[in-house]
Structure 1
């Protein structure tokens, strides 16, 4: 059943997530109007590497922290756990800087790409994906829905206001866009993390607790995320590596951006109920039916509206994005629905099923994004995204049913 407090949280998170998605689309409009398709593709290409490595470096500690926060017995315990996870976060950012620097060297001296210098350029502001992952993951555990909501709105909103005037007065470039967009996100997300009252007292003890939980639960989820979440960024990398420029990188990632609202509703419900799921043996039938029904209606509305929306918002060189988005919309919806059952199993510490599901969908994705993209280009990437997302939903639902029968 949807209870009053949960309804309020769902409305808050859904509305701010929706606003965030709309702002993300408006950001893409500003960026695509400010840069050529090739330059816009360069921006997305660099950020794909950042997102890819950000996922690889997590090692499960954020989801372990979220799980511990969900069952913590006092605010003091919560604050100390946050301090431990933030310590891991700082180490992760340091390693990320080294990896991005290595990427620059490889692109410069091995691949001989003209845009290799951009990897060095973005080093000071390469951490927004990791910071956002920290907020989205750990805030589920202590039910800090307002923090997630703020993280999904303010970075894009402030970027829009500043970038619009900067680009109008001084013109846009790949370098300015990377620094402005990533830099603003880094500053805002750090402020939000610090305002969430972490404590670094008893740090050694908290790190030991976190390590123990991660060994039991977080690592299993992490192994799965390597084969699922992180792999999804491979398409934005392989599309650039196999081509002479990054035009298709821009088209593909832009199509994913406009389809992201379809994963939003079920994801919001799963996030809001994460703490409550930990004490329940099943997901309410009304929640499941309501989520699926609203998702299908959203898909229908999206297909009806995407062509006029793209026609209005983007110039002629990006019109093909509407066709790509119609197909990718199915994958986004299925991914979002699967996330509801993923959150439920995660709340119960079922890391192995989550890992196994991720290996199934991730295995499909890695083959498709490497071989499929090599043979079929952009169409191979789109087909792979759909097939891997449908596989993810079916597999996670089967594991959920098994858990319910045994509980």
Structure 2
């Protein structure tokens, strides 16, 4: 059957093409992709081309389909999986396979499997590893955002605190502690705030820093201080650029004790070093941001590491359990991954948006695979709606949901473009 997909041939060489998919094998599954959010990791793949550790060396001859934050419907199931999956079921994907020690991953390595496609084929290893997950939510976009949310969830679970009596590690952020999310008003940071308000290891407070007033104001609207207070958590947004002494003022929020858990969401040396200095006794700093410089370094205080048990770690990606938790919480409305989304577009926008991702302001770019539509900022819906009835409807929908993308808005798009 025919599929249309964004395929990569080399460095910054992404092309939207139509081609013939082969018939599926008995151990494969054919899926219809509905939504795919664009990940910075795909930009890094595009920038590096064959140099990327997951990229096949023959991509110039056999291009790979990009995109891995996808969701859609199962269309056809090979004989091997017919007792587990049925046509018509919705799916979410965990792309971090690590199958038999290989780095191959959907969206990076496969000719016929990737999220930026109308249809694609899930290879046997995806199902063998339990990475094709059934999803029962009302919208596709929340399942697409399950993958980035799983990375956030993995970070929360991976943090740890020591016990000096028996040296057992208490996993997860500290119950009743103070969390600091540095550079946290971007899409992933807001996802971390949303999950922090829902995590079973309930903190006393969450402090979120940024240097951009516009991003901070949007964050305050997306996740309000009042919403956090209703959950018994103090939520503080803090502009470090406007503070006379940001470090001292952040420390004062904790009465000089420091932060039990710190997540660094921007790969900036002074930010990481300040995070290290703001750690409480037995504090854990998670360097979550992924730098492009493989020689990125920052100084840490080893005196504190020795005498006050501070420790630093890093996490990247989430596992299948994290993804299961992400889509379950999203489908129940316990977390709202929509706080990440600032732009919406069609399959025709993926190649250009991916190659220019760092230059496009805002958060997550959500794309839908079954139609063409310009990549449009949610903030622009109101102005566009003055002359376009579609954007007038979308504007009314997002305004009814605190300015956020939502299930109703997705259905408006599907109805407009005749997607079933």
TM-score (norm 1): 0.27
TM-score (norm 2): 0.27
> Which of these two proteins has the greater Rg computed from alpha carbons?
2
Q: Which has the higher strand share?
A: 2
